[in-house]
Amino acid sequence: MRTEREPAGEPVPGEGPGLEELLSQVALGHEQAFNRVYDLLAGPVFGLARRVVRDRAQAEEVAQEVLVEVWRTASRYDRTRGSALSWVMTMAHRRSVDRVRSAQASTAREERVSRMSGEVPYDEVSETVTTRLEGERVRRCLGGLTDLQRQAVTLAYYGGYSYPEVAGLLKVPLGTVKTRMRDGLVRLRDCMGVER
Amino acid sequence: MNEDLHTLSGAYALHALPEQDVLLFEEHMARCEACAVEVRGLSETAARLAMAAAEQPPAALRARVMARITEVRQEPPLLDRRAGDRAPGASRAEGSRAGDSRVEGSHAGDSRAEGDREGRTPGEVVPLRSRSPWRRRAAIGLVAAVSAAAVSLGAVAVDAVRERDRLQQAVTVIAAADARTVKYPVSSGGTCIMVMSPSQGRMVVTARGLPPLPDSRVYEVWLMSADGARPAGLLERAEDGVTTPLLTSPRSDDLRLGLTVEPAGGSDQPTTTPIMVADLPAA
């Protein structure tokens, strides 16, 4: 029920001058186009980094790296290989995951793992997800998964855990986790009507 | 074995695979089209999960990012093999960039798109001053002009890379499914050709048969809105009287495209009477 404009939260794929078009302009060095790309993507990129790395300052660093990377490599985006959103979010997620995994040796990581046991980030997702349409849909679709599917997917994606770690957290065999990640995502995909 | 690898697609899309499994899976994916397609769909799905986590970043982040990009050089696009063949000098100019030697499928659709254009009707915009409306398919000729310009690149190593990138962008516009072509006569002689793609938000401008100018003069292109004209770039002559394609992004309030002769280097505002004024194809 926010009333202020919050452009950062609402990139709707397929509406307005799409990200794809904006990126092709960014590739030509248009800073104005990049400004709009920032409007569309800074929210999801920062939010995702926050969720995965937790630490606010580090999440800002990750978000900055990713957004500058979008500027730098916009010409490498190839729309035949997927949406621009997916291209950027893949980058953002990978960077975030790299950040937490490189800190893996630290005890903070261990503590984090034990703290997370039994607790599923799904609830946090429901909290932060506002009334945005996309968020609503994601939440509804997550709700349609089995517990194990949902935990496997959200621990990996929002928690940044590898599948062996997820198996450890959930105390289920590796093979089961792999399968749940896949069929969970497949079910999400079908629920969200993602184009294949 | 394959069945087992295949089930890793979900974990792969979630970046939940340990390093060694990533390599294994990518190797597998290179040989398994179905896996690659599945991964693409699952990655799109994961991206939606990111949207749900969106959070307002601190305002200072924008300032930092915008400041940073002014210091970061942008990567040139990856070339496909055909483009490389056409402009060997251009690809060599990049030296040993690892990224460029790898052939990506980014423009694999070009040849198909050229074929598609043959069945498409040209832009129906009526030229302001034309005596006989343009009814031929200019795009094919333009693609040829682009290739001719690419061939002519050859030796000029310094500009070749930038030039090549621009050509590739131009080809993307020309090959876009919604590309529309309009041709206008130029009053001093020759023809100006415009290809507009609303989906790309860009336009390619080129000309042929323009009379040669002395070194002190250039052809300059203008985008004109109700507020006046702004420079869109210079038309530079390439081989055979065809100019190098100029890439420009009209704004929604731009109504016309103009061409004038200006002092070398171009002007900020037109200083001579336009030798062509064309209505922009409606977006």
Q: Are A37 and A19 in contact (CB under 8 A)?
A: yes
Q: Does A108 touch chain B (CB under 8 A)?
A: no
Which pLDDT score, from 0 to 100, does residue A163 have?
93
Which pLDDT score, from 0 to 100, does residue B39 have?
95
Residue of higher predicted confidence among A152 and B94: A152
Residue of higher predicted confidence among A132 and B60: B60
Q: Does A5 touch chain B (CB under 8 A)?
A: no
B56 contacts A128? CB cut-off 8 A: no
Q: Does A17 touch chain B (CB under 8 A)?
A: yes
Q: Does A146 touch chain B (CB under 8 A)?
A: no
B7 contacts A178? CB cut-off 8 A: yes
Mean pLDDT of B1-25: 86
Nearest to B94 by CA among B75, B109, B112: B75
Residue of A nearest to B74 (CA): A72
Is residue A159 classed as helix, strand or coil in its secondary structure?
Answer: coil
Residue of higher predicted confidence among B139 and B76: B76
Is residue A1 classed as helix, strand or coil in its secondary structure?
Answer: coil
pLDDT for A38-91, tens place per residue? 988 999 999 999 999 988 999 999 999 999 999 999 999 988 888 999 999 999
pLDDT for B125-179, tens place per residue? 333 333 333 333 444 445 445 544 444 443 334 445 555 566 667 767 776 777 7
Scored b (16 or more CB within 10 A) or e, B255-269 reads ebbbbbbbeeeeeee
- Work out the mean pLDDT of chain B and round it to a whole number: 71
Q: Does A51 touch chain B (CB under 8 A)?
A: yes
CB-CB neighbors (< 8 A) of A49 in chain B:
none
| Residues comprising chain A, all counted | 196
Nearest C-alpha of chain A: how many angstroms from B187? Answer: 31
Which pLDDT score, from 0 to 100, does residue A67 have?
97
Pick from A93, A158, A165 the residue to mutate for testing the B interface (most B CBs within 10 Å): A93
Highest mean pLDDT: which range of A152-166, B79-93, B176-190: A152-166
Question: How many other C-beta atoms are found inside a 10 Å radius of the C-beta of residue B82?
Answer: 14
Residue A112 banded pLDDT, cuts 50, 70, 90? low
Residue of A nearest to B176 (CA): A21
B16 contacts A92? CB cut-off 8 A: no
Confirm whether pTM is higher than 0.80: no
Nearest C-alpha of chain A: how many angstroms from B267? Answer: 21
Residue B241 banded pLDDT, cuts 50, 70, 90? low
CB-CB neighbors (< 8 A) of B165 in chain A:
75
